[in-house]
Amino acid sequence: MLSSSITAAETFVPLSGALERVGARVEVTAERDRAMECDGLVVPGVGAFAACMRGIEDVGGASIIERRLAGGRAVLGICVGMQVLFSSGVEHGETTAGLDQWPGVVERLHAPVLPHMGWDTLEVGEGSVLFRGVENERFYFVHSYGVQSWEWSAQISSVQRPPLVSWGDYGGRFMAAVENGPLVATQFHPEKSGEAGSVLLRNWVQAL
């Protein structure tokens, strides 16, 4: 067993179990000190962008995430927990500010049938650590919104490396995962993605 301690706020039993199966010790907490001290912080989320942001704000989550990343400490966002890491989300005509760790707007997917629910392969970014060993596998999605355009190149200086992006396609391309130093995120649910999801979570835990 690995000695890594993972803190997950507002999480679910399947995610906790999936992390434990790959060697993590999991604690569910909204306590600032515990969230700061853990080796890896998981930010899951379901439902609406605005509701997820309210939950994060209620526990001072924005400053916790900001301070962890400033110190190079790992954060993993999953599903809506990935979406809130972008600049904003637009749902039902209302715009909600996100955590603004990455530029981008979360918007409704351009697909005739929503939500996007089921298994899909990805266009994995070259050199991915998160997807090592499962680059060609399928992962499980349940979502109607996503970031469909990448604005990073216009935002950074020539000395900064852009994040590594993996793409999905459902009525058009959308960002399925991002790897950016200590901050990584997936639009899909690794805890519902069978053995491929387990490998991905193990890759993250072992990198802590």
Q: Which residue, among 54, 56, 91, has the nearest Cα to 75 in the 3D structure?
A: 56
What distance in Å separates the CA atoms of residue 60 and residue 43, rounded to the nearest whole number? 13
Query: In the predicted model, is pLDDT for residue 154 greater than 90?
Result: no
Percent of the chain with pLDDT over 70: 90
Tens of pLDDT, residues 53-81: 999 999 899 999 999 999 999 999 999 99
Output 86 or 10, whichever has higher pLDDT. 86
Instruction: For residue 26, give the 3-state DSSP assignment.
Output: strand
pLDDT band for 6, please (50, 70, 90 cuts).
low
What distance in Å separates the CA atoms of residue 108 and residue 66, rounded to the nearest whole number? 27
Sorted by where each starts, the structural domains of the chain and their CATH numbers stand as: 5-206 (3.40.50.880)
**Which strands sit side by side in the sheet containing 102-108, from one edge to the other?**
94-97, 86-91, 102-108, 145-147
Question: What was the pLDDT predicted at 176?
Answer: 98
Output 27 or 195, whichever has higher pLDDT. 195
In the set 38, 52, 79, 116, the catalytic residue is 79
Question: What was the pLDDT predicted at 14?
Answer: 85
What distance in Å separates the CA atoms of residue 192 and residue 139, rounded to the nearest whole number? 8
Kindly state the average pLDDT of the residues 177-202: 97
What distance in Å separates the CA atoms of residue 94 and residue 175, rounded to the nearest whole number? 21
Instruction: Provide the β-strand partners of residue 108.
Output: 145
In the set 107, 137, 179, 191, the catalytic residue is 191
Answer yes or no: are the C-beta atoms of 116 and 188 closer than 8 Å: no
Query: In the predicted model, is pLDDT for residue 50 greater than 60?
Result: yes
Kindly state the average pLDDT of the residues 95-115: 96
Cα-to-chain-centroid distance, residue 114: 20
Question: What was the pLDDT predicted at 33?
Answer: 92
Question: What was the pLDDT predicted at 7?
Answer: 54
Whole-number average pLDDT of the chain: 90
Residue 191: active-site member = yes
Q: What is the DSSP letter of 123?
A: B
Instruction: Provide the β-strand partners of residue 106.
Output: 89, 147
In the set 38, 116, 137, 189, the catalytic residue is 189
Q: What is the residue-wise DSSP string for 133-191?
A: T-TT--EEEEESEEE-S--GGGTS-TTSPPPEEEEEESSSEEEEEEEETTEEEESS-GG
Question: What was the pLDDT predicted at 9?
Answer: 45
Residue 79: active-site member = yes
Tens of pLDDT, residues 159-189: 467 899 999 999 999 999 999 999 999 999 9
pTM for the whole thing? 0.91
Question: What was the pLDDT predicted at 142?
Answer: 96
Question: What was the pLDDT predicted at 111?
Answer: 96
Strand ranges, E, within 92-148 = 94-97, 102-108, 116-120, 139-143, 145-147
Question: What was the pLDDT predicted at 3?
Answer: 33
